[in-house]
Structure 1
Amino acid sequence: MTSAIAIDSPATNTSGLNWVNSFAALGPDFYTELQPTPLPAPYWVGKSRALARELGLEDHWLESADTLEALTGNRLLPGSGPLASVYSGHQFGVWAGQLGDGRALLLGEIDSPSGPQEMQLKGAGQTPYSRMGDGRAVLRSSIREFLCSEAMHGLGIPTTRALCVTGSDAPVRREEIETAAVVTRTAPSFIRFGHFEHFSYTGQHAQLKALADYVIDRFYPACREAPQPYAALLEAVSERTAHLMAAWQAVGFCHGVMNTDNMSILGLTMDYGPFQFLDAFDPGHICNHSDAQGRYAYNRQPNMAYWNLFCLGQALLPLIGEQELALAALEPYKTQFPEALYARMRGKLGLADERPEDKALVDDCFKLLAAGKTDYSIFWRRLNGFTPQSGHEPVRDLFFDRESFNAWALQYSERLAGVDAELRAGLMHRNNPKFVLRNHLGEEAIRAAKLKDFSGVDTLLALLQSPCEEHPGHDSFAGFPPDWASSIEISCSS
C-alpha cells in the first residue's frame, strides 16, 4: 500500500460547511487526533446527490477535484478536525476489550438543514485502534455499504447515510489483492453501545458520565427531566432499538454482525458488512459466512438486540446505581418490539386498523412463507394486487402447496371485508418495496465497478432511493435471483 503521499493544504471551502465538532469537545480521553493516510490517483465511484442536498451542499461541490481529494483523505476540509474514537465491545457474545475506529476517521460535525451531522471517512488509513489491520476498506465492501446505507434510508429505516464512495488503484490485501476505496458516511452521531462499555469496564466513571450527559443533552433531552436520567436514557435507547429491529424483520433484512460495537446509541442501522436482504424466506437464515454458530441468524436478531441492550445496561449501571432500575428500563423492549413488528406487518397487508385476529393472520403468513421458502420481497409486492374477488394467481403461483395458500388467502379475504380498497392499496404500495439490494445485484455492480464501469452503482442507487416506485424498464432488478446467487458468500471481511 502507498502511504507516503503528503496531505495537501486544506481544500477550498466552496460548500459553506459550518463545523461544530461537539464530540471533540469531550476531550482526548475519547479519541486520538490524527490525519488520514492519503491514497494515490483517486476517482469517483458513486455519489448520493440526494444526501448532498439534504446536507445543504451546493450541487457543484460533489463534482470538484478538491472534494474528491478531501473525501479520499488527501487533503483536509477547512474546519474539520480528524479523529478516531475509542470504544470497546462484545463480539459474537465474547468480551473483546478495547476496539475503536480502526479504519474510520471522524472529520467532525457539520451544521446542516436537517440538523448537526457527523461526517466520517471509512477506509482512511491506520489508527491507534486498527489492531494489526491496515485501516483500509476495499472497493467491494465500500460499494455494498454505500448502496445499503441509502437503500435503508429509501425504505424508511433509521440508518447512517453514505454521501459518496471514492476509489484508488492502491492495492489492499484481503483473501486476495483488491483495490482501495473510501466511504464518506454521515449520521447525527456514530456513538455506539461499545463507547459506554469501554469507560465502564475500564473504571473510568467520570468519562462514562460525561459521555452519557453528552448523549442525553444532545439527543435525548427529555431524559434530563426524569427522576433517574441515565435509566431514562437506557429506556429510550431500548425503545428505539425495538422499533429498529421491527423494521429489519419486516423488510427481511439481516445485519450479520450485531456486536455491541455495531449498535447505535440512536437506534440507527450502522456498520454494513455481511448484510443480506432475504431471497427465499428462511427464518433461520445466516447471512454471515463467518457466523458458524448462527448467533446472528435472521430470526435471532430481536433477541440479540435485547442481549446487547442488557450489556448497555450493565455499562450504565455505575450511573444508574440500582440493578432493578436498569432491568426496568429494558422492559419496554419486550412489548414495543412485537407491537412495532405487527404494526409494520399490518402496513404490508394494507390494514390501517388493528383487530384481534391480525396476529394470527401475520403468524400464519410467516409460517406459509417459511414452509415454501417463498421469495420474500416478490411475495409482498405481488400481494399488492390481491383482492378478495381476484383469482390470486400471481401470488398463488409462488407456492407449491396451493391448498395452504388458499386457506391463508381465505383468512386474509375475510379480514379485508369492509376495508377501504384505496386506503389499503396506498398502505401496501408504501410498505412493500419493489426493489431491495439483493446480494446478486450488488455483486453485479461490484464486478462492473472493478472494470471502472460505475453505471451499475448509479442505476442501483436510483432504484433503491425510491424502492416502492415502479421504475419502468428496470423490472429485471426486481426479479427472482439467479441460481448463482445462492453461492455468494459474505463474511466479516465484506
Structure 2
Amino acid sequence: MQLKQDFFEQLPEFYSQVFPLAISNPHWLAWSQDAADLIAIETPSEALLQGLSGNAKIPDASYYAQVYSGHQFGGYSPQLGDGRSIIVGEAIGPQGAWDVALKGGGPTPYSRHGDGRAVMRSAVREFLISEALHQLHVPTTRALAVIGSDLPVWRETQETAAITVRLAKSHIRFGHFEFFCHSERGAPDKLKQLLNFTIKQHYPQLTCDAAGYKAWFTQVVADTAKMIAHWQAIGFAHGVMNTDNMSILGDSFDFGPFAFLDTFKEDFICNHSDPEGRYAFSQQPGIGLWNLQRLAQALAPIIASDDLIAALNQYQVELVQHYLYLMRAKLGITDVREDSALDETDLELIGGFTTLMERNQLDYTNTLRRFGQLDPDSKHSSLRDDFIDLNGFDTWFTRYQARVGKVLDVAQWQLERNKINPKYILRNYLAQEAIIAVEEGNLAPLHQLQQVLQNPFAEQPEFDEFANRPPDWGQGLIMSCSS
C-alpha cells in the first residue's frame, strides 16, 4: 500500500497526530477485494493485518485524527472530531487516492472520554452497508475490511472490539468548515486555506478565486442533492444526518443506525435516539438543505452571500430532477421529453404509487422488483394481486399505462427494470443474523451475505431467501447509535 500525506503535510492545524492502539488477536472478519483494487492491494496479507490493527507501523503512515464541529440533532457542538477514527494517509490507486481510516483504532484527543473503539456489530454493519450501497450505484465511502479481536469493550454489555478499515476520497465534512468559521480559530484565513486545499485536491478544474468558490459550492449543493435523491429512490434511511456526518463530496458517510425500508412507511424512523423523527426517511431531503444552509453560514466570510443563496436555490431543483430520473427508470417511464425534468404529473404518479404501497403495507424493494415481471400493456397486471385496495390500484394503473404508452419489446423492457430495481438489499434482520453468527464464531453467514449483496440486481435463485420480507421480529428494526 503506497501512501501519500497531502492533508497531513498541508493542513497541520486541522488535526492531532495520534497513533492507533493495538488490538489483541487480530483476525480478518470480512474483506472486500473490490475495494482493495481501488488502492492496488492484491491479497489480505498478514503484514497488512498487523498494520491495520495497530500492531505494527505501516510504512509512510502519518496517523492523525481530524478536528471539526457540527450540528447534531439541530444543536451546535463547537468541537467534535475523529473520536474513534485514525487516518493512516492517502493510499494511491490506479484511479486516484483514497484516505485509509481505522475506525475503532483507539482514543484520540476528540474521544470525549470514550475508549475510541468500535464494537464488532457496528463494524460489520458499516462494512456491509458501504459495499452494498456501492453495488446499488449510490455515492458512498467504501470499506476495505473488518478486523476482529478478542479485546473486551463495554457498551450496554461486554462486547469485543473491531476495526472497520474505511476508504474515502475525502474525510472533509461540512463540520470542518463550521469549526474554522469562528474568528478565534483563524477565520477567514483558515477557512480559505481549507477551501483552497479541497478545491485543489478534489476539484482541480476550478480556480481558487471568487468564481471558483461559487462554482465549488454550487457543485457541493448538486452532489448532496443527488446523493439524497439516491437514498429516497432506493429506500435508504441514514439515521444520523448531523452536519459532521455530511461528506463535502456528496458521498454517503458515517453509518450508524441506518436501515433500508422493508414495508414502505414514509415517516419511518430507524434511529432509536431520534424519537421525534428529525432524521426520518421522509425528512431527509429537507435536512439535506438545512445542513447545506449551515455550511453556507460557515462559508459566509469568504463566499459572497448572493452566490451562496443562488446555489442553495438550486437544491430542490437538483434533488427533484435526479429523483425523477431514478424513479422514472424504476417504473419504466422511458419516454421522457427534454422539457419534462420537473414534470409534476410524473411526481404525482410516483407519489400515488408510494402512497398505495404504504396504504397496502407492501415491501418497497420487492414491489418495485415486480416491475420486471410486469406487462405494461396487459389489462391484468401481475402487481394487482399484491394490493388490498384494488380500486385504488386499478385507478393508478390506468394512469400509469397511459403515461408509459405502448411498449414494443416487453421482454427487453422487463430486463431493463431488473437492472435498476434490486432484488437484494441489506435488510437489518439479515445483518443481525450475520452478526449473531460471527459472535458464535461462524463467519460463513457474513461472507454469504456479502456475496449476495455484491450482485443485488441478479436473480441468484440459490439465495432467494435473502430477498424475502423480514420475519415479524425483523420488521422495521430500529437501531441505536451505540458503537
Q: Distance in 2 between matches of 1:153 and 1:388?
A: 30
Q: Distance in 2 between matches of 1:263 and 1:256?
A: 12
- The equivalent of 1:396 in structure 2 is 384
Q: Distance in 2 between matches of 1:212 and 1:419?
A: 50
- The equivalent of 1:28 in structure 2 is 12
- The equivalent of 2:324 in structure 1 is 342
Contact residue 70 and residue 77 of structure 1 kept, 8 A: yes
> Alignment partner of 2:462: what SS?
coil
Q: Distance in 1 between matches of 2:33 and 2:405?
A: 44
- The equivalent of 1:10 in structure 2 is none
Give the counterpart letter for 2:49 in structure 1.
Answer: L
Encode CA deviations 1:133-169: one digit per residue, 9 max, x unaligned.
Answer: 1100000000000000000000001100000001111
- The equivalent of 2:223 in structure 1 is 240
Instruction: State whether structure 2 residue 233 is matched by structure 1 residue 273.
Output: no
Give the counterpart letter for 2:429 in structure 1.
Answer: H
Contact residue 350 and residue 423 of structure 1 kept, 8 A: no
Q: Distance in 2 between matches of 1:293 and 1:233?
A: 34
Q: Distance in 2 between matches of 1:392 and 1:302?
A: 36
Amino-acid identity (%)? 44
> Alignment partner of 1:35: what SS?
coil
Give the counterpart letter for 1:346 in structure 2.
Answer: R
- The equivalent of 1:127 in structure 2 is 108
User: What is the CA distance between 1:56 and its match in structure 2?
Assistant: 1.6
- The equivalent of 1:253 in structure 2 is 236
- The equivalent of 1:4 in structure 2 is none
User: What is the CA distance between 1:111 and its match in structure 2?
Assistant: 1.1
Encode CA deviations 1:31-63: one digit per residue, 9 max, x unaligned.
Answer: 11121001111111100012112322123xx0x
Which blocks of at least 5 consecutive residues in structure 2 are unaligned?
338-342
For structure 1, which segment, 282-291 or 400-409, has the greater mean C-alpha deviation from structure 2 after superposition?
400-409
- The equivalent of 2:59 in structure 1 is 78
> Alignment partner of 1:352: what SS?
coil
User: What is the CA distance between 1:210 and its match in structure 2?
Assistant: 0.9
> Alignment partner of 2:334: what SS?
coil
Paired residues, number: 474
Q: Distance in 1 between matches of 2:394 and 2:441?
A: 49
User: What is the CA distance between 1:392 and its match in structure 2?
Assistant: 5.3
Contact residue 128 and residue 450 of structure 2 kept, 8 A: yes
Contact residue 70 and residue 243 of structure 2 kept, 8 A: yes
Give the counterpart letter for 2:144 in structure 1.
Answer: L
Contact residue 351 and residue 419 of structure 1 kept, 8 A: no
- The equivalent of 1:49 in structure 2 is 33
Encode CA deviations 1:238-266: one digit per residue, 9 max, x unaligned.
Answer: 00001001000000000000000000000
- The equivalent of 2:128 in structure 1 is 147
Contact residue 234 and residue 326 of structure 1 kept, 8 A: yes
For structure 1, which segment, 356-365 or 221-230, has the greater mean C-alpha deviation from structure 2 after superposition?
221-230
- The equivalent of 1:478 in structure 2 is 467
> Alignment partner of 2:196: what SS?
helix
**Aligned mate of 1:353, from 335, 338, 359:** 335
> Alignment partner of 1:29: what SS?
coil
- The equivalent of 1:95 in structure 2 is 76
For structure 1, which segment, 227-236 or 444-453, has the greater mean C-alpha deviation from structure 2 after superposition?
227-236
Q: Distance in 1 between matches of 2:476 and 2:326?
A: 31
Encode CA deviations 1:299-354: one digit per residue, 9 max, x unaligned.
Answer: 0000000000001101111111x322211121111211001101100010122232
User: What is the CA distance between 1:359 and its match in structure 2?
Assistant: 2.6
User: What is the CA distance between 1:458 and its match in structure 2?
Assistant: 0.8
Instruction: State whether structure 2 residue 196 is matched by structure 1 residue 207.
Output: no
- The equivalent of 2:340 in structure 1 is none
Contact residue 351 and residue 427 of structure 1 kept, 8 A: no
Give the counterpart letter for 1:187 in structure 2.
Answer: A
Give the counterpart letter for 2:102 in structure 1.
Answer: L
Q: Distance in 2 between matches of 1:289 and 1:204?
A: 38
Instruction: State whether structure 2 residue 231 is matched by structure 1 residue 231.
Output: no
For structure 1, which segment, 287-296 or 363-372, has the greater mean C-alpha deviation from structure 2 after superposition?
363-372
Q: Distance in 1 between matches of 2:416 and 2:65?
A: 43
Instruction: State whether structure 2 residue 26 is matched by structure 1 residue 37.
Output: no
Q: Distance in 1 between matches of 2:5 and 2:416?
A: 40
Contact residue 371 and residue 414 of structure 2 kept, 8 A: no
- The equivalent of 2:167 in structure 1 is 186
Where does 1:153-168 land on structure 2 (aligned, <5 Å)? 153-168=134-149
**Aligned mate of 1:451, from 419, 427, 440:** 440
> Alignment partner of 1:32: what SS?
strand
Q: Distance in 1 between matches of 2:387 and 2:299?
A: 49
Report the CA distance shift for 1:164/1:245 in structure 2 as closer, same or farther (over 3 A). same
Instruction: State whether structure 2 residue 85 is matched by structure 1 residue 104.
Output: yes
For structure 1, which segment, 356-365 or 442-451, has the greater mean C-alpha deviation from structure 2 after superposition?
356-365
> Alignment partner of 2:333: what SS?
coil
User: What is the CA distance between 1:390 and its match in structure 2?
Assistant: 4.3
Give the counterpart letter for 1:333 in structure 2.
Answer: Y
**CA RMSD across the alignment:** 1.6
- The equivalent of 1:327 in structure 2 is 309
Q: Distance in 1 between matches of 2:316 and 2:393?
A: 31
> Alignment partner of 1:98: what SS?
coil
Q: Which runs of 4+ in 1 moved over 6 A?
A: none
> Alignment partner of 2:159: what SS?
strand
Give the counterpart letter for 1:185 in structure 2.
Answer: R
User: What is the CA distance between 1:391 and its match in structure 2?
Assistant: 6.4
Contact residue 256 and residue 296 of structure 1 kept, 8 A: yes
Report the CA distance shift for 1:326/1:416 in structure 2 as closer, same or farther (over 3 A). closer
User: What is the CA distance between 1:486 and its match in structure 2?
Assistant: 3.1
- The equivalent of 1:406 in structure 2 is 394
